[in-house]
Amino acid sequence: MDQHIIRLSPLGKELTVNHNTPMMDVLHGFGIEFPCGGKGTCGKCKIKILAGHLEMTAPHREKILKLGLDDSWRLACLSRATEDVTIQVAQFEALILADDTKFDFIPQNGYGIAVDVGTTTLVAQLVDLTTASVLAVETMLNPQVKYGADLISRIQKDLEGHGAQMTDLIQNAIGGMLEKLMAQQPVNVKRVVLVGNTAMQRTFVGLSLNPLSCYPFQVADLGAKTFPVNDLGWKIDVEEPVCFYPSIGSFVGSDILAGIAATGIHRHEKMTALIDLGTNGEIVLGNRHGMVCASTAAGPAFEGANISMGMRAVTGAISSITTDQTPWSLQVIGNEKARGICGSGLIDAMAIFREQELIGSFGDITTGEESISLDEVVVLTQKDINEFQLAKAALAAGLTILASELSITTAEIDEIVIAGAFGNYIHIGNMVATGMVEAQEEKIHKMGNTALIGAKMFLFSGPGLADEICTKIRHVNLEANRDFQDIYVDKMLFP
């Protein structure tokens, strides 16, 4: 064959290239960096094969082994297109949200499928329960995005009578992904675990989102939901009923429950916070003696909502801003012309605007203009800056109130784990500089898709692990705290 198709998952990009084209040439145009110049020594250009094949020479294999990777991985700088292939690029991890983090497990026979049902992205992994290794991965955009990108729009559509269509869409999409997994690896699946926020659980199950639409936002039936696979109409066999894991609160779902499992907060002595910058900006704080959790209104701004040129972390989004050039240099996902800005870029912009005194501590643009231009296309308006302040204040106030619920101060938190879609792009220093997270930089680290890691752990643990977490955690309504308004207003200031 003279030409081959290269698919970049889940960017949805498909390229046709000539036989033997170096993958370095293919990926260069997407902003992928090759720090060692393609010598195969830094490992930074690693790519994972999701379908198809890329040939590997013996020295290439040696380098892959040395990096501790399995043979589904390649170094792009040493690979050429020799047949159709679908790849996941490690430098785009924040977009892909698939994960191959190692975790402790007790081996058992059979296979399981873990599914992270995100508001934006769906990820399913087929796992060998004897080794915990991932045999196949499927990712896709949540087809419910046609009813709106964020949860508020979905809730609205549910109230307008589109609930049944949203249920069909999500059930069929996940069923289709599972069928594709089984087509790649025809094995007998023992169990399927789904995790997601409370709205995703309810819409998957076919329950109304009405309780999430109005005060007091109380959802009565937060528990696990199970279905024999036949009831879902999926054309696969699964030994046990499919289980969507329980939510902790109205806006703290089983994705956070899974995140707690992944981080192990519930078993550690050290006081740890988990901050998920997904849709709701959920926070968990505690240790093995007890945990509290809450959702904040921080999420939407970091997903691009409410920001005039905001967008998700996809091709064309400014994902990172640095000051290695004057006044700054922009990194755009996919190395394309910038069309907008995503959450991580927004945080960088705010930190740099403050550093360069373009905005004051109240967030006011000091030049008196209505906006600040990042380049000839993308601007941030005064309103955008104020939206960022509302979001970062919600997060900082949330952590402060949760700490007070445990009778500690935020200074006594030992570790802060950042999870979420764009976590990998975030400059932690800038989170601290904007006052979004008030802690020393060295206490904060990123952990990627903790929901998916936890869902895989649930494949091994059965309900026991989730039950253990649920008995140790308490959901807190932040706004019911009498100091909330004062703390919230205070946190709107830039440090």
Binding site for ligand FES (CB under 6 A): 34-36, 38, 40-45, 75, 77
Nearer to ligand FES, 64 or 401 (CB): 64
Nearest to 199 by CA among 228, 163, 175, 229: 163
Q: How far apart are CA 235 and CA 213, in angstroms?
A: 34
Q: Which long-range CB contacts under 8 A does 23-28 form with residues at least 24 apart?
A: 23/47, 23/54, 23/74, 23/76, 23/77, 23/79, 23/80, 23/81, 23/87, 24/76, 24/77, 26/76, 26/81, 27/76, 27/89, 28/335
Residue 7: CB minimum distance to ligand FES, A: 20
Q: Classify 199 as helix, strand or coil.
A: helix
DSSP assignment letter at 160: I
Q: Which residues pair with 244 in a beta bridge?
A: 194, 225
Residues 115/35, Cβ–Cβ less than 8 Å: no
Q: How far is CA 411 from the centre of its chain?
A: 26
Residue 90: CB minimum distance to ligand FES, A: 11
Nearer to ligand FES, 63 or 266 (CB): 63
Nearer to ligand FES, 42 or 145 (CB): 42
Nearer to ligand FES, 27 or 478 (CB): 27
Residue 443: CB minimum distance to ligand FES, A: 31
Nearer to ligand FES, 36 or 377 (CB): 36
Residue 397: CB minimum distance to ligand FES, A: 43
Q: Classify 214 as helix, strand or coil.
A: coil
Residue 93: CB minimum distance to ligand FES, A: 16
Nearest to 45 by CA among 54, 55, 37, 53: 37
Q: How far apart are CA 54 and CA 40, in angstroms?
A: 16
Residue 20: CB minimum distance to ligand FES, A: 18
**Upstream peptide bond of 216 is cis (omega within 30 degrees of 0):** yes
**Which residue shows structure tokens 């084209």?**
21
Q: How far apart are CA 313 and CA 304, in angstroms?
A: 8
Residues 196/118, Cβ–Cβ less than 8 Å: yes
Nearer to ligand FES, 69 or 152 (CB): 69
Residue 422: CB minimum distance to ligand FES, A: 24
Nearer to ligand FES, 34 or 147 (CB): 34
Nearer to ligand FES, 79 or 481 (CB): 79
304: left (phi over 0), alpha (psi -120 to 50) or beta: left
Residues 47/76, Cβ–Cβ less than 8 Å: yes
Residue 46: CB minimum distance to ligand FES, A: 7
| Element holding 293 (H helix, E strand) | strand 290-295
Q: How far apart are CA 418 and CA 428, in angstroms?
A: 9
Nearer to ligand FES, 63 or 225 (CB): 63
Residue 61: CB minimum distance to ligand FES, A: 14
Residue 77: CB minimum distance to ligand FES, A: 3
Nearer to ligand FES, 40 or 345 (CB): 40
**Which residue shows structure tokens 């060295």?**
442
Nearer to ligand FES, 32 or 242 (CB): 32
Residue 30: CB minimum distance to ligand FES, A: 14
Residues in the chain: 495
